[in-house]
A = this chain, B = another copy of it.
Amino acid sequence: MYITIDERDRRPMYQQVADEIKGLIARGELPENSQLPPVRQVAADLGVNLNTIAVAYRQLQKEGLIRVRHGSGATVVSRVRAKHDEERAHDRLQAALTDLVLSGLSRAEILALVNKALGSLTSART
C-alpha cells in the first residue's frame, strides 16, 4: 500500500494518512474485506510512530469504512460512509475550489482537474 505524507501540508500526519487510505478505498485499490497493513508497517514505511497510524485507523473505523480488531488487523468494511459529514465535505470542496480560482486557474482548467480526479475515483466502482 503506497502512501506518502507531506511535511508542508498543514493537515496533521494522521489526517493525511486517513485521507490517502480513503482514496485507496474509493478507487477500489483496497476492496471490501481486504486487509490493511499493520500499523507498525505503515509507520515504519513513513518513518513515524505507530500511534500516529493507529489514530488514522481509528478515524476510518469511526467513519464506518474499516473495522479494526485488537490482535487481528484492520479490514475494509464498506465503500460507503455514514452521510453525516457530507456538509463538512461540501465546505472543504468550496474552500479548495476557491483556492484554485484564486491561484488563477480558469474554470475549464479546474473542471479538467475535477474530472480527472473523479475519473480515478469512480471508474472502478461496482
A residues at B contact (CB < 8 Å): 6, 8-11, 19, 22-23, 25-26, 63, 65, 79-81, 83, 85-86, 88-105, 107, 110-111, 113-115, 117-118, 121-122
Q: Which 7 A-B pairs have the closest CB atoms?
A: A89-B99, A92-B96, A93-B96, A81-B102, A19-B95, A86-B103, A26-B101
Q: Which residues on the B side are within 8 Å of A98 (C-beta)?
A: 19, 22-23, 26, 121
Pairwise interchain contact A91-B122, C-beta atoms closer than 8 A: no
CA distance A110 to B93 in the complex (A): 10
Question: A23 is contacted by which of B8, B22, B83, B94 (Cβ under 8 Å)?
Answer: B94
Q: How far is the CB of A23 from chain B (nearest CB, A)?
A: 5
